[in-house]
Every structure is written in structure tokens, then in C-alpha cells.
Structure 1
Amino acid sequence: MASELLTNRKGKGTAIVTRLKKFAFGMKGNDGLLYKLFIYGLLIGIGFVYLFPLLYMISYSLKSLDDILNPLVNWIPTQVYLDNYESAYKVLKFLPTLAESLYVTVIPAIVQTAVCAVIGYGFARFEFPFKKTMFVLVLATFVIPPQVTVIPRYVFFNELGILGSIQSFLFPALLGQGINSAIFILIFYQFFKMMPKALEEAAQLDGAGYLRIFFTLALPMAAPAIIISFLFSFVWYWNETYLAAIYFGNSLTTLPLELQKFVATYQQMYPQSGDTSEINEGINMAGTVMTILPMLVVYAITQRWFVEGVDRSGIAGE
């Protein structure tokens, strides 16, 4: 009897320990409590790092000067103060500048996506002399920083007479040398390389040519790559200020370019006091929020397709 009782107690103790381990660490694919706490804590920490600047900007953009100077007011302003946005709207000349920003961003992004799709399809589905060498050279252009080639490009564009116009962005995009075009060529190359050859052979038996195969078979299958390429192109052209300032000069402008000279423009528009304290952190933050707002709207609209495209393309980030 004693041995049976001891065995039962050991069995119960083992079962309790097993249940505790399962509850804490999980078993056979079930996530335990400690594992979930670690994952959720990690995600919350990463999310806070990314969201903190955005929350800070929004909070300060809604504060009046009194709230900014009041040490008792931290995150939540005493009132919603929209005059900061009114001032930033006038300084940025928001609507005309937004129209120019979309003009020099959307069109080059569309052109770059289309050209990279054609180049990636050519590398993936055709054999021609020096193919590997040319592909390596295309990828090598991603390694070379644009600052290295900006002077010869500037001289070349000046001789062509395309400085101060959108053509200085369109011309490289048409030749597969837009902003980070090599990355998009590689993405399309991977997609088209995975396309079964049996589909092409069946289409050729039905009398379809290479162009028809490209437009009716290849492009629909590469929809995730198209979404990824366009969105990344859009963001990179939007955020490009170095090349835009050099190539466009005073002929064209964008919201990021206007944000760079925000303080100087504000002081020119409101010179009555001659005091730099006239522009406060709230107005600066309002201008920053208005500059990134179009990006947030685009991402909110295309979030579902963007996430699906990243998942299907296997892109980890740039």
C-alpha cells in the first residue's frame, strides 16, 4: 500500500510539473505564457520605438506656445490648437507643393516599375551573350552611391537640357537606372524565374508571341512584385531631397524640400518681430506631420496589398 501511495503521489507531482511547464513554456506547438509574454513584450517595445516619434510630433503639433512652455503639460495639450497647422499650411504652400510632389514622384515610380519588369523578364526568360556579366553589372549599380555619379550625371543632363524638369528623374528610370532600380530588377527576376516554363510553352503552342505572354501571363503572376516595386519607388522618390535639389533647382519643389527650408521661409513670411522665437516647436512639428501625411495615407490605402506582396515576395526589408 505504501509503495502504491508513493507512486500515485509521484505521478500526481509529475502531472502537476508537466501542466506547469505546458502553461509556462507550451508544448507541441502550443505557446506558453512566458513565451507569449516575451513575444508581446518584444513587439510592444519595437512598436513603441517606431510610434514614439510620430506620437511626439502629433502631440506637439497640437500644442499652443503656452502649452509648450508649461512644464506641467506633457503629452496631452490643454486644448487642440490648430493654428500651428494653419501656419505650416501657408509656409509649405501645401496644395501646390503637394501637386508638384506627386507629379515628380508618381510618374517616375510608374515608369521605373514598368521598365524594371521588362528588364527582369528579359534576364529571367531569355538567353543572350554576356547575360551573367550584364546582370552582375546591373546589380553592381546598387552598390555605387548616387553621390559618386551625381557630377557626371549633372553635366550630362545639362548638355541634354533636361535639368529643372521631371525628365532628370524620368530619363534614368527609362534606362533602368532610377533610384535603386537594381533592387526591383532583382525582385522581378526572381518572380519570373519561378514561373513554370510549361505555361509559356502552352501559350506558344496556341500562337502567343513573347509580348502577349509577357502581358497576359507574366505580369498577372508578378502582381506582388509590381505592388512592392511601385510602393518602394514611390517612397524613395518622395523622400529624395539630395538629387531633387540638384536636378530641379528652383523650377520644381517637393514637400520634403520645402520642409528643409521651413524655418527660413517662415521667417521671411512673418518678419515683423525679427525674432527666431516666433516659430516654435509646435509649428515645426505641424509642418513635419503635413509632410509625411501623404505617405501615411498611401500606406493606409495600400496596406493589405503591400503586406501580401511582401509576404509572397519574401522581402525582409530595405
Structure 2
Amino acid sequence: MNKLMTKRKNIETARMKRWFIGVKGNDGLLIRTLIYGLLIGIGFVYLFPVIYMVSFSFKSLEDLLNPLVNWIPSTLHLENFKQAYQVLDFFPTLFQTLYVTILPALAQTAVAALVGYGFARFSFRLKNFLFVLVMVTFIIPPQVTLIPRYLVYSELNLLGNIQAFLLPATFGQGLNSAIFILIFYQFFRSIPKTLEEAALLDGAGHFRIFFTIAIPMAVPAIIISFLFSFVWYWNETYLAAIFFGDQLTTLPLELQKFAASYQRMFPAGMEESASQLNEGIRLAGTVLSILPLLIVYFITQKWFVEGVDRSGITGE
């Protein structure tokens, strides 16, 4: 009888342990609680500034000064977005931003794919040295080479136009190009060489193999590289302000001088400027400046996740 009771007790203990901890540490209540708690905490850290920004961008000056109005505005004050839209000169600035962002991102992705394929599939003298040299270009801060680059661009008449971004990207020296070369290098190394050897036996050349075999299989790496390149060129303000001057502008650049532009457009005595620049108007300008990026993320989220997932596939 005692043995039977002991056996039942052990079974119940094992069942409770399996329910609480799980099998081999998986799917248990404790593990799930820890994982979901961690994910909720990380998500809150990232979402809190966005929620705060969107909420306060719709607040009027009265709501901002009222301590009883916290997260939900009493009314949706769209005047903030109207003034921010005018200060940013939104659509002309957006078109210029896309112009100086998409073209260099496309050129950088294409060149990084070609260079990464060359390093992954061909053996030549000084290959390792050149690869290390490419990685060094990422380690050196751009501020170190800023003055020589500025002088060279000035002599070549590249300042004040998109060539200051496009030409370096075309020659594999765009923003963080070394990272994208490394991504393609690792990806092409994972593709089985038997595919290329079979194509060589059929008479295909290296360029044909690259465009008909390597590139279609590298779609995940292309998506990842283009999206990251697009975002980095979009957010670049330091180099853009120096190289473009007053000839070209971007939404992040206009956001940096938002206060000065607002004071110039809506002086203190102006009738339209019933409420001077406040936090709601600033945050409305911030929302407008990041809205295109959010739209891009929502549209490309599926392909981006698939690209990250598929880029982990390994070959022989």
C-alpha cells in the first residue's frame, strides 16, 4: 500500500513538474512566463516612445498644460500636423529624400552582391588582404576621412548633388558597404558549388552563373541589404548636411532645423501663430518624418522576415 501511494505521489510530482517546467525545459508554465514577460518588456521599451510621440502629437496647447490629460487627448488637434507639414515642406522634401536614398541604396546593394560573390567564389592573389581592407573601411569612423573626402568631392564637383552619395556606393564605399559585402560573402559561400559546376559543364560563363543562379538564390540577402541600406541613407544627416549643403535636403535634415524654420514661418506676432512652437507640434513633425519609414516597414515586413529566416540556410 505504501509503495502504491509513493508511486502515485511520484507520478503526480512528475506531472506537476512537467506542467510547471515542461519537458526538457520547454513549454512549461515557468518558461513561457519568463519568455512572454521578457518579450513584453522589450516590446514596451520600443513601443513606449512611439505611443508617447503619437499621443502628444495630437494634443493642443491646453491639453499639454493640463495635468489631468495624460495619454488620451481631449480632442484630436490636427493643427499640429498642418503646421508641421508646412514647416517640413513635406512632399517636396519627401521626394528629395527618396531621391538621395533609393538610388544609392540600389547601387550599394548591387555592388555589394557582386563584390561578395567575387570574394566567396574566386581565389586570387592578396584576396585575404583585400577582404581585411574592406572590413577596415567599416571600422574606421567616417569622421576620420571626412576632410579628405570633402576636398576630393570639391575638386570633382560632386558637392551639392546626389553624386556625393551615389558614386561611393557604386564603387563599394557607401554607408557601411563592408557589412553588406560580408552578408553576401557569407550567403554565397553557403550555396552549393555543385550548382555552379554543373552550369560550367553546360557552357555557362561566370557572369551568367552569377545572374541566373547566384542572384535568384540571394534574394533574402538582397532584401536585407537594401532595407538596411535604405534606412541608413535615410537617417544620415551628418554627411548629408556637409555634402549636400543647401542644394538638397531630407526629412531628417529638415527635422533638425525644425524650430528655426517654424519661427521663420510663424513669427510671434503672426495671427496664424496663435500657439507658439510646443511639444505637440515638434512631435507631429517627428511623426511625419518617420511615417514613410513605417510604411516601408509594414509593406516589406513579410519579405524581410522571410529574408532573415532564409539567409540562415547553409549549403555544403
TM-score, normalised relative to structure 1 = 0.95
Q: Residues 25 and 31 of structure 2 are in contact (CA less than 8 Å); yes or no, is this contact kept in structure 1?
A: no
Q: 3-state DSSP class of the match of 1:253?
A: coil
Does 2:198 correspond to 1:221?
Answer: no
Give the whole-Å Cα distance in 2 for the aligned partners of 1:131 and 1:96: 45
Q: 1:6 deviation in Å?
A: 1.3
Task: Say what the alpha-carbon RMSD is for the aligned residues.
Answer: 1.6
Q: Residues 268 and 276 of structure 2 are in contact (CA less than 8 Å); yes or no, is this contact kept in structure 1?
A: no
- One-letter identity of the residue aligned with 1:307: V
Residue equivalent to 1:122: 118
Does 2:73 correspond to 1:73?
Answer: no
Give the whole-Å Cα distance in 2 for the aligned partners of 1:196 and 1:31: 36
Q: Residues 60 and 282 of structure 1 are in contact (CA less than 8 Å); yes or no, is this contact kept in structure 2?
A: yes
Q: 1:314 deviation in Å?
A: 4.3
Map 1:149-160 to 2 at 5 A: 149-160=145-156
Q: 1:191 deviation in Å?
A: 1.2
Give the whole-Å Cα distance in 2 for the aligned partners of 1:223 and 1:236: 20
Greater shift, 5-14 or 216-225, is seen at 5-14
Does 2:232 correspond to 1:233?
Answer: no
Residue equivalent to 2:97: 101
Greater shift, 96-105 or 125-134, is seen at 125-134
Q: 1:272 deviation in Å?
A: 3.3
Q: In structure 2, which of residues 276, 279, 294 is the aligned counterpart of residue 278 of structure 1?
A: 276
Residue equivalent to 2:303: 305
Map 1:232-271 to 2 at 5 A: 232-271=228-267
Q: 1:311 deviation in Å?
A: 2.1
Q: Residues 120 and 189 of structure 2 are in contact (CA less than 8 Å); yes or no, is this contact kept in structure 1?
A: yes
- One-letter identity of the residue aligned with 1:186: L
Unaligned runs of 5+ in 2: none
Give the whole-Å Cα distance in 2 for the aligned partners of 1:106 and 1:52: 29
Residue equivalent to 2:142: 146
Q: 3-state DSSP class of the match of 2:4?
A: helix
Q: 3-state DSSP class of the match of 2:125?
A: coil
Map 1:33-48 to 2 at 5 A: 33-48=29-44
Give the whole-Å Cα distance in 1 for the aligned partners of 2:38 and 2:202: 54
Greater shift, 140-149 or 304-313, is seen at 304-313
Greater shift, 45-54 or 270-279, is seen at 270-279
Q: Residues 112 and 177 of structure 2 are in contact (CA less than 8 Å); yes or no, is this contact kept in structure 1?
A: yes
Q: 1:313 deviation in Å?
A: 2.5
Greater shift, 188-197 or 148-157, is seen at 188-197
Give the whole-Å Cα distance in 2 for the aligned partners of 1:95 and 1:195: 43
Q: Residues 267 and 276 of structure 1 are in contact (CA less than 8 Å); yes or no, is this contact kept in structure 2?
A: no
Give the whole-Å Cα distance in 2 for the aligned partners of 1:107 and 1:291: 19
Q: 3-state DSSP class of the match of 2:105?
A: helix
- One-letter identity of the residue aligned with 2:227: L
Q: How many residues align?
A: 311
Give the whole-Å Cα distance in 1 for the aligned partners of 2:195 and 2:66: 69
Give the whole-Å Cα distance in 1 for the aligned partners of 2:294 and 2:203: 45
Give the whole-Å Cα distance in 2 for the aligned partners of 1:106 and 1:130: 33
Residue equivalent to 2:167: 171
Q: 1:56 deviation in Å?
A: 0.3
Residue equivalent to 2:80: 84
